[in-house]
A and B are shown apart, each in its own frame.
Chain A
Amino acid sequence: MTTFSKEDVKYFADFVRIGLSEEDKENFSAKIADLIESVSDLKEVDVTGVKPMTHPVAMINVLREDEPKDILDREVMLASAEDQEDGLIKVPDIL
């Protein structure tokens, strides 16, 4: 029986900066334990000497000319941000 404690949930959620309620931790603890249990069948596979597959269709050195193009307007893009000032995105205090 695989366990994945509430502390484990918080430990990994912290890396990706996801806040969780107590109820979330409980819920994910059980669900992720089930997931880990279910993927443990991968241990049965003999992968000796097998190369990992990173791309389903291998393509090598896809290049194009490095030419400037008309790209998106800065003002238009900035309009998507919640808070902005003088052409910069404003964020809450860092310290």
Chain B
Amino acid sequence: MTLTSKTATELQALLQKGEVTAKEVTEATLQTIEQHEEKIHAFIHVAKEEATKRAEQLDQEAANTRGRLFGVPIGIKDNIVTKDMKTTCASKMLEDFVPVYNATAIDKLEAAGAINIGKLNMDEFAMGSTSETSFFGNTLNPWNTDYVPGGSSGGSAAAVAAGEVPLSLGSDTGGSVRQPAAFCGIVGMKPTYGRISRFGLTAFASSLDQIGTMSRTVEDNALLLSVIAGEDDNDSSSSAKEVPDFTAALTGDIKGLKVAVPKPYLGEGVDTEIVAAVREAISVLESLGAVCEEVELPHIQYAPTTYYVISSSEAQSNLSRFDGLRYGYHTENAENLEQAYFRTRQEGFGNEVKKRIIFGTYAMSADHHEDLYVRAQKTRTLIAQDFDAVFEKYDVVIGPTAATTAFKLGETGGDQLVHYANDVLAVPANLTGRPALSVPCGFVNELPVGMQLMGKHFDEETLYKVAHAYEQATDFHKRTPSIQEGK
């Protein structure tokens, strides 16, 4: 077994005992990345020198001061700012942007001894679900390079699935951690809104955005969330709720757990093979002692459109900061300030980003504000109330993470509307602020399928407990893409 095929938890044990050094792990990681990048292009920037230097420094640290992620390599989605390391949001607008501070999650990773291996590819400004809108070219799925890895955190999912890194951070505004996790056969968690500080996460839609954790096992995911969660003075929407050690929740005992399965989640629009895989997963949970029942969600069909209106409206406000004057791309062709704004944005933003900003402006305009934006916010209340009612009786809501397996490259052209059936499954967790996790639950035509578990606010522990029990009862997480064996 090579170093890079080990989980973060396994690496951690070896590193703490001094059986391997941080430098050895980093070197093996960089070597694996070099082998695979030509095929999958998960990284925008591999931080070879920075990571090597950091590993050497860590190896000097006394054994008793080592943090929970001591020497463990991690990749970071390129919309999370890293001091002195380019953060591009996969956009020409920020092609050469070097942040002057760290996101809070990055500071916490550093304090825990993790090694940032580099910045991961994504859809431009996290707008997309295929990673095809990146200014730097698309990432490919390690299971089959004719397919996309999903998105927008496609690089974060592909890097973990290919064994380039054991852990990565993504961000999830409408499924952007969970859907690529499902497409790449790994574990992806979008925690409760406010669980992780958003300070330093480039804002897309502020009432929906949340940093998420990605890994090959549930245990690694729980470890990573334990390190980066918590209240932050720099983010007033971060929660003061105490952060438990999530790994302590992995008891394997789910007897008596009450599981709701929304009927629409296994209905029209979801591929029949995926429905079959999730039904099979539900029967595994039942054999472990869970009680599963079907429920209705009366407003669920409005979730995608509610999301399109709210996310685009918030995006048009958030992205107005990119003016080319204070930082970022700057047009060379402006005679006056007005022209500088127009041309900087014309040349700096890609088509998907422009489209969403213009649509968001339409939805927020005086003539349409009440009928679109405010109406979407009211519908959001109704959707949240549907889930509140379900969670009064049940501990978790289960369904597929996505309605299909990974799309073929170029199949959707990154078009938002093609993804409607997936959005019904993905966006409710963001609209309601609830935690949701994707765990591998099967394969269709050699492409991974994910099961989604959604929970009560701030009850990530139950999601980890259920996902871990399921994972231990099945073998899907043990399968690796052939790229890992160098085929």
Measured CB to CB, the residues of A under 8 A from B are 4, 8-9, 12-13, 15-21, 24, 27-28, 31-32, 34-36, 38-39, 41-43, 45, 47, 50-57, 59, 62, 64, 72-73, 76-77, 79-83, 89, 91-95
Given contacts A18-B358, A42-B375, A62-B236, contact A76 B325 (CB under 8 A): no
Given contacts A19-B342, A32-B359, A38-B417, contact A89 B326 (CB under 8 A): yes
Pick the contact of A57: B233, B372, B433 (CB < 8 A): B433
Pick the contact of B379: A4, A31, A45 (CB < 8 A): A45
Report whether B382 and A50 are in contact in the complex, using a CB–CB cutoff of 8 Å. yes
Task: Answer yes or no: B365 CB below 8 A from chain A CBs.
Answer: yes
Task: Answer yes or no: B251 CB below 8 A from chain A CBs.
Answer: no
Pick the contact of A36: B362, B375, B382 (CB < 8 A): B362
The CA-CA distance from A19 to B338 in the complex, in Å, is 10
In this complex, the interface size class of chain B, counting residues with CB under 8 Å from chain A, is: 35 or more
Task: Answer yes or no: B192 CB below 8 A from chain A CBs.
Answer: yes
* Interfacial chain B residues near A42, Cβ < 8 Å: 302, 305-306, 309, 371-372, 375-376, 379
Given contacts A18-B346, A41-B305, A42-B375, contact A57 B324 (CB under 8 A): no
Report whether B346 and A19 are in contact in the complex, using a CB–CB cutoff of 8 Å. yes
Pick the contact of B325: A8, A20, A82 (CB < 8 A): A82
Q: Mark B336-368, 1 if CB is under 8 A from A, else 0.
A: 111111110111010100110111011101000
Residue of B nearest to A39 (CB): B305
Report whether B334 and A92 are in contact in the complex, using a CB–CB cutoff of 8 Å. yes
* Interfacial chain B residues near A18, Cβ < 8 Å: 342, 345-346, 349, 354, 357-358
* Interfacial chain B residues near A59, Cβ < 8 Å: 194, 236-237, 239
Residues of B37-82 at the interface with A, using a CB-CB cut-off of 8 Å, are none
Residue of B nearest to A71 (CB): B101
Interface of B is mostly: helix
* Interfacial chain A residues near B98, Cβ < 8 Å: 80
Shortest distance in angstroms between B51's beta carbon and chain A's nearest beta carbon?
23
Q: How many Cβ-Cβ contacts under 8 Å join chain A to chain B?
A: 173
Pick the contact of B377: A21, A41, A53 (CB < 8 A): A53
Interface of A is mostly: loop
Task: Answer yes or no: B167 CB below 8 A from chain A CBs.
Answer: no
Given contacts A24-B351, A38-B417, A57-B192, contact A17 B342 (CB under 8 A): yes
* Interfacial chain B residues near A34, Cβ < 8 Å: 417
Residue of A nearest to B432 (CB): A56
* Interfacial chain B residues near A95, Cβ < 8 Å: 336
The CA-CA distance from A12 to B356 in the complex, in Å, is 11
Given contacts A12-B365, A42-B375, A57-B194, contact A52 B316 (CB under 8 A): no
The CA-CA distance from A24 to B372 in the complex, in Å, is 24
The 7 closest A-B pairs by CB, nearest first: A56-B433, A19-B346, A52-B377, A80-B327, A19-B342, A47-B378, A17-B341
